[in-house]
Amino acid sequence: IGTLVAGGNGQGAGLNQLQYPRYLFVDRDRSVYVSDYGNHRVMKWNKGAKEGIVVAGGQGDGSALTQLYYPEGIFVDRLGRLYVADYGNHRVMRWTQGANQGTVIVGGNGGGAGANQFNSATGLSFDRYGNLFVVDLGNHRVQRFSIEKGC
């Protein structure tokens, strides 16, 4: 029998709702992060919470540093920084805890096939050396980026 940990209150934009959730990440505290594709945001549910917290995006779709455009893959590092594959903006963003806006760490140069471009970034992960791996859906490839240590 499953236990509800996020959403479950119909489709919508409320703090207890999701609209087309895509990816999730569970941190060491068992908080659940969900890329809320249809609401252009990433939500965090602390263990046992009835409502989530918007931790990235949530300002409608767009390309500003406060916005996401169809977020997909997510990853939270040991320092609590959230990484988001921003599908519609062809970029990967990093959001520090409590930040009102993110930082573009790779991509964001329009859709394309260049070394620092994506054609629809979807999944991402880090290795123990701090290398970022990104699934570049439209270019049928996975790219590796040397970002930093400590992930």
Question: Is 13's pLDDT higher than 50?
Answer: yes
Tell me the pLDDT band of 147, cut-offs 50, 70 and 90. confident
Distance CA 127, CA 42 (A): 22
Q: What is the mean pLDDT of residues 121-148?
A: 95
Question: Is 151's pLDDT higher than 70?
Answer: no
Task: Identify any residues that bridge with 94 across adjacent strands, giving them in sequence order.
Answer: 83, 103
Distance CA 121, CA 51 (A): 28
Q: Judge contact between 15 and 52, C-beta under 8 A.
A: yes
The CA–CA distances, whole Å, from 100 to 7, 43, 49, 67 equal 23, 14, 22, 10
Q: What is the pLDDT of residues 66-101, one digit of tens each?
A: 999 999 999 999 999 999 999 999 999 999 999 999
Sequence spans of domains, the chain: 21-146
Q: What is the pLDDT of residue 150?
A: 45
Mean pLDDT, the chain, whole residue set: 96
Distance CA 106, CA 104 (A): 6
Indicate the class that CATH gives domain 21-146: mainly beta
Question: Is 111's pLDDT higher than 80?
Answer: yes
